[in-house]
Structure 1
Amino acid sequence: MNELITFEDFSKVDLRIGTIIKVNDFPEARKPAYQLTIDFGDLGVKKTSAQITTLYRKDDLLEKQIVAVVNFPKKQIAKFMSECLVVGAVKAKDVMLLNPEHKVKNGTPVL
């Protein structure tokens, strides 16, 4: 377990539901990754990269709802600017995306 945090610390993390609307290969990444474009409803569209190529094909990701942190500062990855961070469970270095069981409105907060 990592260091204990307070509820106030956790409340600063803005987790939201978004729908992947575009997936591109990301050959410039050091490890195999996709570039994702995600619709967060009223929060707008954000881009990120994700090392999820071993478990997901591009076609499987389109229209998939995911959970992401939307209030990190932008981060330069190669020639790409990441604007959010998708959330997943890691098993043997493979990332499985977290997603709602039922379709919800894009931008819905995760508590």
Structure 2
Amino acid sequence: MGKAITFETFTKVDLRVGTIIEVNDFPKARHPAYQLTIDFGDLGIKKSSAQITTLYTKDDLLNRQIIAVVNFPKKQIANFMSECLVLGAVKAKDVVLLSPEHQVKNGTVVS
């Protein structure tokens, strides 16, 4: 188990549901990855880089809802600015995306 945090610390992490609206290959990434464009409703459109090419094709990802941290600072990855962190569970070396069981409105808060 990881180091314990307070509930107050947890509430600072802004977890939201978004829908992937565009998926592109990311050949300049150090490890195989996609460039994702994600619609977070009222929060707007954000981009992210995700190393999920082993388990997901671009068609698998398009229009899929995901959960992401949306209040991290932007991070430059090669020639791309990642604006959020898409969440997943690590299975061996692969990432399995976390997503809502039922369709919800983009931008919905995860708590």
1:39-54 alignment, distance < 5 Å: 39-54=39-54
Aligned to 1:25: 25
Aligned counterparts of 1:2 and 1:27: Cα–Cα separation in 2? 33
Aligned counterparts of 1:99 and 1:91: Cα–Cα separation in 2? 16
1:2 offset after TM fit, Å? 1.4
Aligned counterparts of 2:2 and 2:105: Cα–Cα separation in 1? 32
Aligned counterparts of 1:60 and 1:93: Cα–Cα separation in 2? 19
Paired residue secondary structure (1:8): helix
CA displacement 1:62-98 (0-9 Å, x = unmatched): 0000000000000000000000000001010100000
Runs of 4+ in 1 over 2 A off after TM superposition: none
Aligned to 1:61: 61
CA displacement 1:8-33 (0-9 Å, x = unmatched): 11000000000000000000001000
1:3 offset after TM fit, Å? 1.1
Paired residues, what number? 111
Q: Which runs of 5+ in 1 are unaligned?
A: none
Give aligned-pair identity as a percent.
80
For 1:12, the aligned partner's letter is K
TM-score by length of 2: 0.99
Aligned counterparts of 1:71 and 1:93: Cα–Cα separation in 2? 26
TM-score by length of 1: 0.99
Aligned to 1:100: 100
CA-based RMSD of the aligned residues comes to: 0.4
Aligned counterparts of 1:77 and 1:27: Cα–Cα separation in 2? 11
Aligned to 2:75: 75
For 2:110, the aligned partner's letter is V
Q: Which runs of 5+ in 2 are unaligned?
A: none
